[in-house]
Amino acid sequence: MKIFTAENIRLADEFTIQNEPISSVNLMERAAYACANWIVENCKKHKKLAVFCGNGNNGGDGFAIARLLYMKGFDVNVFIDSSKEKFSEDAQINYKRLKEFSGISIDDFRAIKNIQFNQTVIIDALFGTGLSRKLDGIYGDLIEKLNDSKQIKISIDVPSGLFSDKILEENQTVFKSDYTLSFQFWKRSFLHPETGKFAGKVVILDIDLSKEFIEKTATDYFVIDETTIHEIFQPRNDFAHKGTYGKSIIVGGSYGKIGAAVLATKSALKTGSGLTFVMAPNCGYEILQTTCPEAMFISGGGKLIEKIEIQENVVYGIGPGLGTDSLTEKALLEFLEQSLKPLLLDADALNSIAKNKDSINLIPKNSIITPHPKEFERLFGSTENSFKRIELGRTKAKELQIFIVLKDHHTQVITPEGNVFYNITGNSGLAKGGSGDVLTGIITSLLAQNYSPKNACILGVWIHGKAADFAAQKFSKEAMLPTDVIDELGNVFLELNKKATTML
């Protein structure tokens, strides 16, 4: 799914209005119906709504939603700034329609100081994607008051005060939603930690904007959705053999850190690698042979990796539990000097490269690196925020011609062309040591199975997150373990294959 800027969303609206054709107020009605239907379906325990409407088109959405929900049996109270009762053209139409219903009370924002909201859903329709300034005055005070409420809070399109495409300004007041019902597209601000925390759970509602406009309009930013995944995923051929699905070598482990190599090796096996090897120090031999009997062991040293042998027709995933001993660093850099094929580098492999800055140029083109934010900083330097971190990542991916999988709540895949794909599967249960090792094994395995580096990254982060979502459902985010994520990979593939079959 493409991510558009606020300006391109405005142009998509205009194009739809002109070419469907549909009037702007009827397009607003379509959006309001989508929101009202979601609220009816998901707020069945609540019958009272407080809808806060601004003077622009977001307020117009709010007026229409209030009217529709009143007609569906909700007790609706609408709040406006009555000192400036001047609305955009479409908002004015919906305000007039709303006033025809005597059962809907319309009060001034200032009245909320005398109102106690109990079992009431608060709906924020104050400001939409067109906002370009900090909120202050009556709106700032209102939002701070509403944020103190313990009631369920829903924003329409974007939380008021939040910009669609950029970081917040200092001390910016933003409505803090439990749910954001957004139209047609994800906004980049939903996907970054500094701003996404205000959006709560994001629900994208299809309001049937012009497919022609969406297809022809270019963007550098995308969300990894199920449509993308089903275009990438390749079901296994019934007449295949183990050689069909490639050869993976996980290089990792050191004394006390063999578990990381176990996690990466198990996940590579579970993701479908045809032949899986693990190159580790001898101190991990019994552990690896016992926990991963399907994988073959290659000795890389005694208590740490001292040499990394180059083999033909193999995909390497290097880094889990590797350590940064000088002997291991030397072995890694010597390997990179001779290696030409794309590979995956993670964890201590990246930390070793960060300590030897020039060595970053040794990474073969089209390789994949999978840093978390701190590892990214060690490699490329610090940035003021996650928006600027992505821009630095785009610069480095182009410069080095590599793929960067930047691990975060919404992990980003950054391509050598400068495109960014945000992953929306996964949860905070992955915030545990070992989760990254599982991802290393998954992507390495997909590379070995002849997925392109780009598709291996996109499919890999999605599978990793989806398995984590299944694990959280079973064990909770708190209790789930990286091994639980590996155990759920089979269920992810069952679902992928089932959908692939039904799509034929």
CB 188 within 8 A of CB 165: yes
Instruction: Among 218, 244, 269, give the residue marking a domain's end.
Output: 218
CATH of the domain at 359: 3.40.1190.20
Residue 225 covered by a domain: no
What pLDDT was estimated at residue 170?
86
What pLDDT was estimated at residue 504?
58
Range in 295-304, 353-362, 397-406 the model is least confident about = 353-362
Q: Are residues 176 and 276 in the same domain?
A: no
Distances (CA, A) of 441 to 324, 329, 336, 504: 20, 21, 19, 30
The pLDDT of residue 371 is above 90? yes
Mean pLDDT of 66-88: 94
Q: Are residues 45 and 114 in the same domain?
A: yes
Q: Tokens 């109270």: give the residue.
A: 77
CB 365 within 8 A of CB 397: no
The pLDDT of residue 84 is above 90? no
Distances (CA, A) of 412 to 163, 201, 420, 456: 20, 19, 6, 13
Instruction: Among 190, 218, 246, give the residue marking a domain's end.
Output: 218
What pLDDT was estimated at residue 126?
97
Beta-bridge mates of residue 153: 122
Collapsing DSSP to helix, strand or coil, 156 comes out as strand
Nearest Cα neighbor of 412 from 181, 220, 198 is 220
Residue 223 covered by a domain: no
What pLDDT was estimated at residue 132?
82
Q: Are residues 155 and 243 in the same domain?
A: no
Residue 366 covered by a domain: yes
Q: How many domains does the structure of the chain reveal?
A: 2
Q: Are residues 212 and 271 in the same domain?
A: no
Residue 333 covered by a domain: yes
CATH of the domain at 114: 3.40.50.10260
Collapsing DSSP to helix, strand or coil, 304 comes out as coil
**358 phi/psi in degrees, rounded to 5:** -65, -20
Q: Tokens 């960067």: give the residue.
A: 404
The contacts of residue 319 (CB under 8 Å, 6+ apart) are: 251, 252, 344, 345, 346, 347, 348, 349, 350, 440
Amino acid identity, position 306: E
Q: Are residues 189 and 338 in the same domain?
A: no
Separation of alpha carbons 231 and 299, rounded Å: 39
**Structure tokens of 63?**
């007026």
Domain that holds residue 122: 6-218
Mean pLDDT of 433-455: 98
CB 165 within 8 A of CB 186: no
Neighbours of 411 (CB within 10 A): 26
DSSP secondary structure letters along 310-379: --SS-EEEE-TT----HHHHHHHHHHHHH--S--EE-HHHHHHHHHSGGGGGGSPTT-EE---HHHHHHH
For 190-200, the pLDDT digits (tens) are 999 999 999 99
Distances (CA, A) of 84 to 81, 126, 136, 149, 253: 6, 13, 15, 25, 66
Q: Are residues 199 and 240 in the same domain?
A: no
**Structure tokens of 109?**
């924002």
Range in 117-121, 393-397, 417-421 the model is least confident about = 117-121
Rounded to 5°, angle at Cα 151 from 145 and 153: 80
Residues 328-339 as b/e (b if ≥16 CB within 10 A, e otherwise) read bbebbbebbeeb
Q: Are residues 68 and 23 in the same domain?
A: yes
Q: Are residues 133 and 157 in the same domain?
A: yes
The pLDDT of residue 250 is above 90? yes
Range in 214-218, 379-383, 499-503 the model is least confident about = 499-503
What pLDDT was estimated at residue 133?
86
For 169-198, the pLDDT digits (tens) are 888 999 999 999 999 999 999 999 999 999
Instruction: Among 152, 187, 218, give the residue marking a domain's end.
Output: 218
Distances (CA, A) of 428 to 10, 398, 409, 431, 500: 33, 30, 7, 5, 29
Residue 224 covered by a domain: no
Q: Are residues 393 and 308 in the same domain?
A: yes
Distances (CA, A) of 286 to 36, 47, 292: 60, 62, 10
Separation of alpha carbons 499 and 504, rounded Å: 9
Q: Are residues 281 and 186 in the same domain?
A: no
Residue 104 covered by a domain: yes
Q: Are residues 198 and 108 in the same domain?
A: yes
Separation of alpha carbons 328 and 360, rounded Å: 16
The pLDDT of residue 503 is above 70? no
Q: Are residues 196 and 324 in the same domain?
A: no
The pLDDT of residue 242 is above 90? no
Nearest Cα neighbor of 308 from 340, 344, 263, 338 is 338
Summary mean pLDDT of the chain:
96
